[in-house]
């Protein structure tokens, strides 16, 4: 058995381990790392020749092993840094309950209208924050809107369909298109031009078919309790989404790798987040100082009245302070 066949067998076994991670009850990272180490180990130990594909001349160019590994490590690091930056921005938005403000867009009780609204939101969000994150965000919001479990599953299925369709036409909407874009295999104008219409069709047709099912007839029963929203949630949401959308624009202008633009967007988003928190802090401190001044003034008035021996209709300090502190 040749070494090439052994490497292929290792690859197939590793890929099967990734595909059946749930059945094997192991994280897919484990077989992926084992597969990578064993394959490169065989190539290095037996001093096998590695080749780089010349796509222009359709030829194989021999390379040194370390050069090839450093090359792919650099590309992998670009993708990881890009994804880390994007996920950090998304987590920041979620920390301020920014995605919860999306519920403002869903004011209807009609199941069909909610279906179309959620599917369009999934289509748009998945093109900005990638399809997996958009799916998680919208299903989390769905949990707070719909009580019936069967209806939740139907909505969740349609969100997945719409999110996958929306992530296909954007360079940052799916890990596959992101890797192709970072590797300069596709361009943004071509990706949007050729895939935006098919993606819309893949979202609209299933949604139109689903809207005819009996499960989406009638109205939902809204939950009785409503969660309080963060006053800066919507601002942080706009800042976060705008920062991510800015990344492709930055690459077009500067022709630098996308992870550079993502790091810039992360820095700007973090700075604006700090400014929003600082604004909230200033507001709270101002209320606190105002409360203390009112309390001191009330206390002085009460002392002056007691000293003069006159009755007063003014509120005592004990009745004013709780009101002030409650406002703070």
What confidence score (pLDDT) does residue 306 get? Answer: 59
Q: Contact at 8 Å (CB) between 200 and 92?
A: no
pTM: 0.67
What confidence score (pLDDT) does residue 318 get? Answer: 45
Comparing 117-126, 127-136, 206-215, 313-322, the range with the smallest average pLDDT is: 313-322
Tokens of 90: 């998304």
Q: Give Cβ neighbours of residue 327 (< 8 Å, ≥ 6 apart).
A: 287, 291
Question: How many alpha carbons lie under 13 Å from residue 293 in its C-beta half-sphere?
Answer: 6
Q: What is the mean pLDDT of the chain?
A: 80
What confidence score (pLDDT) does residue 323 get? Answer: 42
Confidence of residue 276 (pLDDT cuts 50, 70, 90): low
Tokens of 133: 């994150």
Q: Which helix (H) or strand (E) holds 201?
A: helix 188-210
Burial of 73 (0-12, 13-18, 19+ CB in 10 A): exposed
Confidence of residue 273 (pLDDT cuts 50, 70, 90): low
Considering 68-77, 149-158, 268-277, 310-319, the range whose residues carry the highest mean pLDDT is 149-158
Measured CA to CA, the distance from residue 100 to residue 192 in angstroms comes to 29
Q: Which helix (H) or strand (E) holds 325?
A: helix 317-327
What confidence score (pLDDT) does residue 299 get? Answer: 64
Q: Please state at what angle helix 188-210 crosses helix 111-129, rounded to 10 degrees.
A: 160
Helix (H, G, I), strand (E, B) or coil at 26: coil
What confidence score (pLDDT) does residue 21 get? Answer: 86
Report the Cα–Cα distance between both ends of the chain, in Å, rounded: 76
Helix (H, G, I), strand (E, B) or coil at 98: coil
Domain boundaries, the chain: 3-48, 98-226, 279-327
Query: What confidence tens digit (pLDDT) does each residue in 18-33 have?
Result: 988 888 888 888 999 9
> What percent of the chain stands above pLDDT 70?
80
Tokens of 294: 């009112």
Measured CA to CA, the distance from residue 234 to residue 97 in angstroms comes to 8
What confidence score (pLDDT) does residue 314 get? Answer: 46
Q: Contact at 8 Å (CB) between 281 and 328?
A: no
Query: What confidence tens digit (pLDDT) does each residue in 242-256 have?
Result: 888 888 888 888 888
**Across residues 288-306, what is the average pLDDT?**
67
Q: Give Cβ neighbours of residue 186 (< 8 Å, ≥ 6 apart).
A: 171, 177, 180
| Contacts within 8 Å (CB) and 24+ apart, 104-112 | 106/145, 109/219, 109/220, 109/222, 110/218, 110/219, 111/151, 111/215, 111/216, 111/217, 111/218, 111/219, 111/220, 112/211, 112/216, 112/217
């Amino acid at each position: 058995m040749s070494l090439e066949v052994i490497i292929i067998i290792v690859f197939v076994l590793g890929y099967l381990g990734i595909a059946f991670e749930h059945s094997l009850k192991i994280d897919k990272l484990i077989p992926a790392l084992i597969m990578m180490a064993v394959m490169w180990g065989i190539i290095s130990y037996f001093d096998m020749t590695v080749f780089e594909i010349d796509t222009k001349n359709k030829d194989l160019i021999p390379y040194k092993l370390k050069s090839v590994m450093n090359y792919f490590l650099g590309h992998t690091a670009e993708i990881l840094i890009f994804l880390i930056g994007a996920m950090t921005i998304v987590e920041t938005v979620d920390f301020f309950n920014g995605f919860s403000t999306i519920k403002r867009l869903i004011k209807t009780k009609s199941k069909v209208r909610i279906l179309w609204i959620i599917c369009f939101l999934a289509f748009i969000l998945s093109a900005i924050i990638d399809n997996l994150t958009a799916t998680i965000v919208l299903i989390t919001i769905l949990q707070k809107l719909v009580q019936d479990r069967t209806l939740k599953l139907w909505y969740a299925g349609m969100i997945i369909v719409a999110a996958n369709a929306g992530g296909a036409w954007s360079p940052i909407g799916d890990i596959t298109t992101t890797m192709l874009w970072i590797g300069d295999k596709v361009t943004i104008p071509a990706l949007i031009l050729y895939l935006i219409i098919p993606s819309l069709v893949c979202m609209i047709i299933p949604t139109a078919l689903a809207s005819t099912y009996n499960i989406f007839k009638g109205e939902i029963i809204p939950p009785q309790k409503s969660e309080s929203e963060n006053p800066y949630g919507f601002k942080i949401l706009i800042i976060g989404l705008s920062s991510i959308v800015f990344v492709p624009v930055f690459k077009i202008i500067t022709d630098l790798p996308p992870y550079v633009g993502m790091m810039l967007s992360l820095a700007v988003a973090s700075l604006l987040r700090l400014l929003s928190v600082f604004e909230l802090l200033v507001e709270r401190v101002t209320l606190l100082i105002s409360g203390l001044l009112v309390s001191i003034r009330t206390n002085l008035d009460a002392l002056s009245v007691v000293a003069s021996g006159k009755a007063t209709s003014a509120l005592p300090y004990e009745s004013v302070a709780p009101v002030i502190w409650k406002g703070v």
